[in-house]
């Protein structure tokens, strides 16, 4: 990471302010309608790319800023703090999962072809691991890639794929040798215009309504050897190497979402009256906010520590699991406690806290469930 462009605090804050203005003008007036529509428009990707908010840490030679992880974290922070959970999830998959996979694992040709398109928003990225019969158990996947000459024929299906309707590039995990277990899994860069690639329905989710989440199907889809990403049979190892960033960015978003919920709640309790006094005058309100603020700041400190370790390439899988577990569990707790302080109004969809409550729930599932995080942490503690 020695070639990372270093930005000082004032430059980062200028970037944050520019992003805030963009979200205020291009997202805030329309987000509620997009939630009702069940998808945000494809044009938003192009607008974000044009304004420099996608894949900001992609090297300059491929169109990015070449900036550090901190700048990418700012994008997620502002989307999460604003209550735009669906866009936050979609952008983090595109910028913090797909783009780093190409940057870290791709060949020169793959980087030159895909990275500029991801930065500009010309191409939207997705990653296809989860299958209907195999969620967190990647070794149980059934999608196959059978080699014949210089080609592979891919057959199978994936589900719960973020950006599945909008994607132009999808990184597909498939079994290239079913006899080798985890060592028989490979990754492929798939152009979504390829014959045999089919999008299923846009899944109807409990929350994150405007983010497209889809089923994908591969029917005798042909890919070539130069579409292998990270080496043949190295798919599982590559996935494990890239998971710490995915879990760290989820933690970053969780803390920012907590900040947003706290801001809304403080504003509400200082204005809302009950029994002749504002809610902020009641001890229960004051103590509850004090407890939540303390928990948020303690978790923020650990996120910052993990952020620094990631930038030094020192963040371990266990640490990434701990920060993801703690912050996402906290996000759900903050959502619940803040909604409670809103009372009946918190249950009404006109108040953003209700949407934040629903959107928070998936944080404990995707990127590795809380139970999987605990297992990883326990194995490190117990040495098995």
**Distance (Å) of CA 286 to CA 67, 269, 299, 331, 341:** 40, 10, 20, 19, 10
Burial of 134 (0-12, 13-18, 19+ CB in 10 A): middle
Active site residue 246: yes
- CATH class as words, domain 236-382: mainly alpha
Q: Where in the chain is the domain with CATH 1.10.540.10?
A: 9-123
Catalytic residue (choose from 35, 215, 246, 319)? 246
Q: Please state, in angstroms and rounded to a whole number, the distance separating the CA atoms of residues 210 and 198.
A: 21
**Distance (Å) of CA 249 to CA 4, 29, 162:** 18, 26, 15
Q: Please state, in angstroms and rounded to a whole number, the distance separating the CA atoms of residues 183 and 162.
A: 26
Return the pLDDT at 4: 67
* Beta carbons within 10 angstroms of residue 166's beta carbon: 24
Return the pLDDT at 22: 97
Q: Please state, in angstroms and rounded to a whole number, the distance separating the CA atoms of residues 342 and 354.
A: 10
Q: Please state, in angstroms and rounded to a whole number, the distance separating the CA atoms of residues 244 and 224.
A: 29
- For the domain made up of 127-233, give the CATH fold: Butyryl-CoA Dehydrogenase, subunit A; domain 2 (2.40.110)
Q: Where in the chain is the domain with CATH 1.20.140.10?
A: 236-382
Return the pLDDT at 39: 96
Q: Where in the chain is the domain with CATH 2.40.110.10?
A: 127-233
List, run by run, the mean pLDDT of 10-residue segments along the chain (384 residues): 67 93 97 96 96 94 89 96 96 96 95 96 94 71 90 94 96 91 91 95 94 95 94 89 93 98 96 82 94 98 95 93 98 97 92 96 93 94 85
* Both structure tokens of 162: 């973020």
Helix (H) or strand (E) holding 189: strand 185-191
Say which CATH architecture domain 9-123 belongs to: Orthogonal Bundle (1.10)
* Beta carbons within 10 angstroms of residue 294's beta carbon: 10
Return the pLDDT at 275: 77
Query: Which of 359, 358, 341, 331 has the alpha carbon at shortest distance from 265?
Result: 341
SS3 40: coil
Helix (H) or strand (E) holding 321: helix 317-342
């Amino acid at each position: 990471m020695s070639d990372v462009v270093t930005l000082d605090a004032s430059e980062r804050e200028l970037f944050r302010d520019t992003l805030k203005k963009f979200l205020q003008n291009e997202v805030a007036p329309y987000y509620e309608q997009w939630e009702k529509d069940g998808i945000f428009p494809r044009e938003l990707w192009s607008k974000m790319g044009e304004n420099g908010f996608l894949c900001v840490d992609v090297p300059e030679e491929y169109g990015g800023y070449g900036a550090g992880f901190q700048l990418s974290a700012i994008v997620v922070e502002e989307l999460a703090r604003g209550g735009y959970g669906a866009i936050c999830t979609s952008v983090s998959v595109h910028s913090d999962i797909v783009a780093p996979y190409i940057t870290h694992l791709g060949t020169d040709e793959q980087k030159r072809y895909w990275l500029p398109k991801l930065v500009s928003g010309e191409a939207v990225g997705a990653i296809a691991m989860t299958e209907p019969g195999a969620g967190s158990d990647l070794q149980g996947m059934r999608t196959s890639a059978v080699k014949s000459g210089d080609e592979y024929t891919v057959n199978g299906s994936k589900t719960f794929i973020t950006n599945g309707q909008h994607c132009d590039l999808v990184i597909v995990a498939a079994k290239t040798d079913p006899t080798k277990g985890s060592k028989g899994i490979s990754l492929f860069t798939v152009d979504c215009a390829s014959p045999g690639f089919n999008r299923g329905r846009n899944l109807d989710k409990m929350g994150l309504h405007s983010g497209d989440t889809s089923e994908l199907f591969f029917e005798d889809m042909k890919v070539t050897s130069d579409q292998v990403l990270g080496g043949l049979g190295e798919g599982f190892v590559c996935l494990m190497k890239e998971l710490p960033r995915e879990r760290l960015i989820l933690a970053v978003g969780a803390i920012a979402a907590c900040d947003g919920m706290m801001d809304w709640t403080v504003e509400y309790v200082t204005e809302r009256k009950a029994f002749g006094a504002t809610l902020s005058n009641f001890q229960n309100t004051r103590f509850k906010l004090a407890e939540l603020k303390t928990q948020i700041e303690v978790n923020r400190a650990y996120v910052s520590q993990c952020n620094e370790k990631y930038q030094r390439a020192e963040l371990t899988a266990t640490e990434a699991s701990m920060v993801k577990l703690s912050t996402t569990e906290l996000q759900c707790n903050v959502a619940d406690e803040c909604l409670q302080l809103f009372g009946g109004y918190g249950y009404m969809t006109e108040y953003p806290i209700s949407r934040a409550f629903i959107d928070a729930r998936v944080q404990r599932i995707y990127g590795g469930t809380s139970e999987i995080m605990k297992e990883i942490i326990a194995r490190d503690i117990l040495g098995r």
